[in-house]
Amino acid sequence: MNGSELHAVAAERVFDGTALRERTAVIIDGARITDVVPTADLPRTIPVHMLPTGAWLAPGFVDLQVNGGGDVLFNDQP
């Protein structure tokens, strides 16, 4: 893939860093995310890779793990 190839990755659920979106596509131009849109609004000219059913798409370097949920801490031992 060259540095200017426009494409999209779509999933049933996309966490954009602030909100959980349903049926959403992330548009990527080279190495940059340029937009996040409902999958239905994705232009047909953009190639899309659809993630498997049930998969979530989330940004890297976001800790989605829950520690202490329900007042239980699983990693209290070093």
- Alpha-carbon gap, residue 74 to 68, rounded angstroms: 7
Residue 38 has pLDDT above 60, yes or no: yes
**Regarding predicted confidence, which is higher, 73 or 44?**
44
- Alpha-carbon gap, residue 60 to 55, rounded angstroms: 15
* Eight-state DSSP code of residue 51: P
pLDDT of residue 60: 76
CATH number of 1-51: 2.30.40.10
Question: Among the residues of 1-78, which ranges form H helices?
Answer: none
The structure tokens listed for 54 are 């049930």
| Cβ–Cβ under 8 Å, residues 48 and 42 | yes
Backbone φ and ψ for 57, nearest 5 degrees, come out as: -115, 130
Confidence of residue 68 (pLDDT cuts 50, 70, 90): low
| Domain residue ranges of the chain, discontinuous segments joined by + | 1-51
